[in-house]
């Protein structure tokens, strides 16, 4: 059984990661300074995170790709560091609590 605090940390990291991915894909259709509500929300909540990673973000990346680049760090931390810190070798496919719970709900909904 995974401790509750681990699940909470993973949910937070997962939501940040997926919000950054959402911003990157929303940026395909909308400019970052768009007045569209959802784009403003994505930019408002992800800008502080992107600014934290500015010191390791290469300058040659175009602005639409930076959110995806930062999301990649959250993925790496969730996939490699979390199991290592907890003493596991590998968690396996869909072992992230957030994605695992989401896929279980989808399975229940459609089957």
Domain ranges of the chain: 4-110
95: confidence class by pLDDT, cuts 50, 70, 90: low
Residue 54 has pLDDT above 90, yes or no: yes
| pLDDT at residue 89, as a whole number | 56
Burial class (CB in 10 A: 0-12, 13-18, 19+), 84: exposed
Sign of the C-alpha dihedral, residues 92, 98, 100, 102? negative
> Interior CA angle at 65 toward 59 and 70, to 5°?
80
Q: What is the mean pLDDT of residues 43-66?
A: 92
Range with lowest mean pLDDT among 1-5, 40-44, 94-98:
94-98
According to the model, what pLDDT value does residue 25 have?
93
User: What DSSP state is assigned to residue 90?
Assistant: -
- Judge contact between 17 and 71, C-beta under 8 A: yes
């Amino acid at each position: 059984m995974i401790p509750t605090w681990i699940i909470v940390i993973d949910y937070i990291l997962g939501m940040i990661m997926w919000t950054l991915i959402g911003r990157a894909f929303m940026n395909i259709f909308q400019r970052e300074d768009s007045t569209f509500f959802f784009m403003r929300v994505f930019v408002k909540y992800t800008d502080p995170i992107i600014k934290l990673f500015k010191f390791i973000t290469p300058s040659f990346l175009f602005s639409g790709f930076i959110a995806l680049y930062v999301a990649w760090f959250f993925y790496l931390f969730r996939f490699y560091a979390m199991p290592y810190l907890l003493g596991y070798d590998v968690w396996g496919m869909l072992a992230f609590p957030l994605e695992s719970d989401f896929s279980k709900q989808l399975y229940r909904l459609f089957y």
